[in-house]
A and B are shown apart, each in its own frame.
Chain A
Amino acid sequence: MKKVHFCLAHHLRVTMYTIKMALLTIIEYPSNILGWLISNPIQFLLGFATIKFAVEQFGEINGWDYGQLAFLYGISVISHALSMIFFVQGWFMGYYVIDGAFDRFLTRPMSVLYQFFFTNINIFGFTDLIPGILVFLYGCVQTDFAFTVSNVLGIIVMLTGAVLIRGGIYILLGSTSFWTKSANDFGQFTQEIFDKTTMYPLSMYPEAMQLILTFLIPIGWVSFYPASELLGMKTLCSSGGMGVWITLAAGIATMLAAGLVFQTGLKKYESAGN
């Protein structure tokens, strides 16, 4: 028991150190922080504004008015921001493999998986969080969303699951680099797909695509199903009032699969010579 406790405390201390280091690194370039602080909110606030203008002209899209869309959009951006903070390195795994950057992790007396996930905290992700929360709160006001204990718990469970699904998919895609040995950058690619499938109601896509994004790739669970449930919207597949918990389960499952593939891929890792 004492050993477990020591181990946990040790990991926690290392994580704290890396967060401190991450903070120190970004303070080095203050103009950069300011840039992201302007750029990311602009992207998402303007992005939502344009959707709102278009939807307002027609009143609704597939039964969703712009208040409900704001709720959905907000959840999508918040989960995106959190996944950027913790798992953005999944986007760049190709470069790690090509550059032989895993050497550094392999020679340290800690699990590679732990080091890879928790020693790369991306503080800039917080700049995405601001517009996400703003649009989300706007949506809550527009839809008269009640902040009851069960609803708040629902949101927390859903966001945890959503971040795990996103992170899991980043790492699964990134891990392909272990086999392909190429620095494919999936970043923009995954972001576009996640934007298009989690910011708008999934119900506007053909049924076949909805089914794929429900059962095969759990993207529908990132925001659409749990948000539909919290707002009382109809969906193609009913989540039976368990939407947020299914999101969490899907997140854990995706993450476990990602961890497994990562570990298997790591055995294929052969460093880069020079």
Chain B
Amino acid sequence: MFSSSFRKYLFICKTRIIRSFTYRFDVFGNILMQTIVMVTTAFFWKALFQDETFRNGITADNMMTYTIMSSVLSVLFTTGVERRIQESVEKGSIAIDLMRPVNVFGMFFAEDLGNLIALLFQNLLPILLLGSLLIKVPTIVSVSAIPMFAVSVILSMAINWLTAAIFGMWAFTAISMDALFQVKKHLIRLLSGSIIPIWFFPKWLAGILNALPFVYIYQLPLDIYIGSASNEEIQGRMLIQLIWVLILAALFYLFSKKSLKKVLVQGG
């Protein structure tokens, strides 16, 4: 029983991988764009830091690593679930999605996973390579930080996907979501430490952000990677990260039951 339903999701995952390799221009375009963003951000930090050291011992060199790894992580945090829901509702094909003999969110997750596997080769590796060539080789602060980094990235991915899915559930009832998606995108971009680490923010603002889930998407794994916080601090924050995963998972479970009852089906 378990293996047969697992195989369904695996198949969905596989079709996505195959599909991803058919759009070649998108691939090159994305790599080029992400590289430009990465390199220009690196120049921004170089110009800002000059030869100075920030109060937590961070130098321009650390910021180069931060920038490259942030771009790399952003590939892992690519999700299609919100758009997927919106498009299905817009076209009315959500009715067919719901009739399929799989859990609809399980299907969206499998699709995202398939896309992600393709992106590892199409985006993550090229960006890591280009970053190493054009900026510097982004080395981790110490070998002992690797397991912690890996665990926190997985938790980050969970927070990221759950946030996207919960957010996407709105699309079941509201058709036009473009602006809302933009709001979410910018909030995550600017308040998660993906572009500018939150240690630069005023204390009060950093305090508020530390209570929100966003910083546990980018900032925490990146802090672990460049070693900008003590071990005790990291462990404390990883605990909060785990708590956020659990809270979001609970919310996801709750909302997914409710939202499916209110699905708006249009067209015919």
Asked whether A54 is an interface residue with its Cβ less than 8 Å from the other chain, the reply is yes
Which listed segment binds A: B40-48, B91-99, B153-161, B237-245? B40-48
Question: B48 to A39, Cβ gap below 8 A?
Answer: no
Specify which chain B residues have a CB less than 8 angstroms from the CB of A47 in the assembled complex: 186, 190
Chain A min CB distance to B176 (Å): 5
Q: CB < 8 Å: which of B36, B44, B176 contacts A192?
A: B36
B47 and A35 contacting across the interface, CB-CB below 8 Å: no
Judging by beta carbons under 8 Å apart, are B200 and A57 in contact? yes
Check A204/B190 contact, CB under 8 A, given A35-B183, A50-B196, A57-B200.
no
Shortest Cβ gap from B52 to chain A (Å):
7
Q: Is the CB of A204 within 8 A of B43?
A: yes
Contact in complex: B33, A54 (CB < 8 Å): no
Are B179 and A205 neighbours in the complex by a CB distance under 8 Å? no
B180→A196 contact, CB < 8 A: no
Question: B200–A205 contact, CB under 8 A?
Answer: no
Nearest B residue to A188 via CB reads B33
Report B265 CB to chain A, min CB distance, Å. Answer: 19
Task: Give the dominant DSSP class at B's interface.
Answer: helix
Whether A205 contacts B174 by the Cβ 8 Å rule is no
Complex partner residue of B182 from A39, A182, A193, CB under 8 angstroms: A39
Q: CB within 8 Å of B: which of A186-205?
A: 188-189, 192-193, 196-197, 200-201, 204-205
Given contacts A196-B37, A205-B43, contact A32 B178 (CB under 8 A): yes
Is A43 at the interface (CB under 8 A from chain B)? Answer: yes
Partner of B180, one of A29, A39, A206: A39
Find out whether the CB atom of B25 lies under 8 angstroms from the CB atom of A39: no
Residues of the B chain whose Cβ atoms lie less than 8 Å from the Cβ of A204: 43-44, 46-47
Interface residue count on the A side (C-beta < 8 Å)? 35
Assess the A42–B187 pair: CB atoms within 8 A: yes
Q: Is the CB of B49 closer than 8 A to any CB of chain A? A: yes
A53 touches B43 (CB 8 A): no
Evaluate contact between A200 and B190: CB separation under 8 angstroms. no
Contact between B47 and A38, CB atoms less than 8 A apart: no
**Which residues of the other chain, A, contact B29 by a CB distance below 8 angstroms?**
184, 189
| Cβ–Cβ < 8 Å partners of B46 in chain A | 204
In the assembled complex, the Cα of A34 lies from the Cα of B178 at a distance in Å of 11
Within 8 A of A (CB), among B42-99: 43-44, 46-49, 52, 54
Is there a chain A Cβ closer than 8 Å to B195's Cβ?
yes
In the assembly, what is the distance between CA of A31 and CA of B33, in Å? 31
CB pair A43–B44 under 8 Å, yes or no, is no
On whether the beta carbons of A38 and B179 are closer than 8 Å, the reply is: yes
Residue in contact with B44 in the complex, picked from A38, A200, A206, CB distance below 8 Å: A200
The answer to whether the Cβ of B6 comes within 8 Å of any Cβ in the partner chain is no
Query: Is A6 part of the contact surface with B, judged by Cβ < 8 Å?
Result: no
List A168-220 residues whose CB lies under 8 Å from chain B.
Answer: 182, 184, 188-189, 192-193, 196-197, 200-201, 204-206
Given the complex, which residues of A lie within 8 Å of B253, measured CB to CB?
A: none
Residues of B153-194 whose CB lies within 8 A of A: 174, 176, 178-180, 182-183, 186-187, 190-191
Bitwise, A31-49 to B at CB < 8 A (1) or not (0) is 1101110111011001100
Identify the B interface with A (CB < 8 A). Answer: 25, 29, 32-33, 36-37, 40-41, 43-44, 46-49, 52, 54, 174, 176, 178-180, 182-183, 186-187, 190-191, 195-196, 200-202, 205
Residues of A within 8 A of B (CB): 29, 31-32, 34-36, 38-40, 42-43, 46-47, 50-51, 53-55, 57-58, 61-62, 182, 184, 188-189, 192-193, 196-197, 200-201, 204-206
Give 13 A-B contacts (CB < 8 Å), ordered by A residue: A32-B179, A35-B183, A36-B179, A42-B186, A47-B190, A50-B196, A50-B200, A53-B201, A58-B52, A192-B33, A197-B40, A201-B47, A204-B46
Instruction: A39-B179, A206-B43 given; name 12 further pairs at CB < 8 Å.
Output: A32-B176, A32-B178, A38-B183, A39-B180, A47-B186, A47-B190, A50-B190, A50-B195, A54-B200, A57-B200, A182-B25, A200-B44
* The 4 nearest A-B residue pairs measured at CB: A35-B179, A204-B47, A196-B40, A39-B182
